[in-house]
Chains A and B, each alone.
Chain A
């Protein structure tokens, strides 16, 4: 390895250009850029599917698409957004920022890094190709519950192998993050000095390694049930379909935290910067993240309270679920305490972070409601659930991704983004996203089920409102692309520190940073505590 590493390093003196640069790159910034562009493309593909869903639900009755295709859209929208947009976006940020934040020249395993990314286009080609297959795309929901999912046509093996590929990519990415942080930190960068984005990413990476293989196992068993005569999940053969739900959610709940923990890290970087104060309660943030990660493995059955479980099981999963509010509350209070008596300014990254804190907390509260077993029987499989997880994933994960993009774009490109356009993007997104998702709470409480293309007429007004919010939110995202393209092409020169209140190693590098971040480790005296 050492010889290979030497050779590898020499190699970068003259890196190739054009398509070959991107195919063969082992550079963390190039790979980070690839991940982020891929995620943005998937965000628009998944978004287009959401537009079809909201178009069909604009009015009651069937207007635009067949019910089967509608079900495909809900299934594919979820798979594309979770595995194609949010997860790769986080890996993109990890690639770009972690080496710069810990004072390393690159990721520890650069070739594995290249491989992790280039699996993804193959995985999503497999998945999206099913749109053109006999029998259509998978339509049984992203949760792939048997026996329904076994009715999928030719698309079935494509779905399974796409999930396997996505999983392999995620595990490889997670291994790379862990070994990088544990082996490549600059001298003086102790674990408790790490920026919180790095901390939350390490914890996310451990969640990935522990949970993705379980998903892979579950879908492998689906595959053998369908094609090789096994009966893991078939009651007729002595198997148990409910067991799939347990196995799936043993993966699925940690997955939720895989999507949101890096967001906590981002907000913990942005709030102190624009509040011009150190983060309140750094160590409690680290422990709270670890506590959330631990709890995420013992709450899974709250996704399936209505399946019929012993009372003791239902109580256990209710209590553990409600317990998650404690470490999450620690985080929210710490962000608020950081802002208390501070000198805040409201640039776009800060605006998205503030929206995150308020709106994610709304999603957290509706999550608490869903976690209470007796009332979950009322809410289960209704639009209330849809409203809940879109508050945590759109105004949570996606808003923090946008905050992070605005925060670091000047560092990456060397140019300031267009603040006016950014503010338009923020306000249009924030207003429309609430018009889109807030009425869905009311629809759910009134009894509208999720995953249906048609509904009873009394649900019309809130659905129409939700669809209008959805269209405005969708169109607003083109502003995001315009801001990014404008910023890449030019704009006012960004300083190295970029933001007046920015602290941390990444801000000591030039904007844009050199191809290799820290060829020489930074002086230990320049390393501040991670609360900055």
Chain B
């Protein structure tokens, strides 16, 4: 069951997915940092 070459549209989808994943990861890390930093007196 060999897969066909991904189309240009599929490549663009993947790139967009990676960009979005990075943004979400940055948001998660920012919330983590905020949770701790807001408690530092």
Contacts and interface: CB of A to CB of B under 8 A. Distances in A.
B32 to A, nearest CB: 4
Given A112-B21, A178-B20, A179-B24, A5 B3 contact: no
A178 B18 CA distance: 11
Interface in A495-529: 514-516, 519-520
A1 B24 contact: no
Task: Please name the 4 residue pairs, one residue from A and one from B, whose CB atoms are nearest each other, closest first.
Answer: A217-B35, A13-B2, A213-B32, A108-B17
A468 B39 CA distance: 47
Question: Quick one: which of B2, B27, B35 has the most chain A CB within 10 A?
Answer: B35
Nearest to A205: B24
A204 B11 CA distance: 27
A6 interface: yes
A2 B31 contact: no
B29 A108 contact: no
Interface string B5-36: 11000110111111011001101110111111
Given A1-B15, A220-B36, A213 B5 contact: no
Contacts of A220: 32, 36
A461 interface: no
A411 B39 CA distance: 50
A178 B2 contact: no
Contact of B20 (A10, A174, A182, A214): A182
A165 to B, nearest CB: 14
Interface string A207-249: 0011011101110110000000000100000100001000100
B17 A213 contact: no
A61 B41 CA distance: 47
A510 B19 CA distance: 33
B14 A1 contact: yes
Interface of B: 1-6, 10-11, 13-18, 20-21, 24-25, 27-29, 31-36, 39, 41
Given A175-B21, A213-B32, A183 B16 contact: yes
Contacts of A6: 5-6, 11
Given A12-B1, A519-B3, A212 B21 contact: no
B14 A214 contact: no
B14 A2 contact: yes
B14 A5 contact: yes
A217 B20 CA distance: 23
A446 to B, nearest CB: 39
B2 A109 contact: no
Given A12-B1, A179-B21, 6 more contacts: A1-B18, A13-B3, A176-B21, A179-B16, A184-B13, A221-B36
Question: Quick one: which of A174, A175, A210, A214 has the most chain B CB within 10 A?
Answer: A175
A10 B3 contact: yes
Contacts of A440: none
A6 B15 CA distance: 12
A108 B1 contact: no
Contacts of B16: 179, 183
A207 to B, nearest CB: 12
B39 A108 contact: no
A210 B18 contact: no
A212 B28 contact: yes
A91 B3 CA distance: 25
B25 to A, nearest CB: 6
Contacts of A5: 6, 10-11, 14
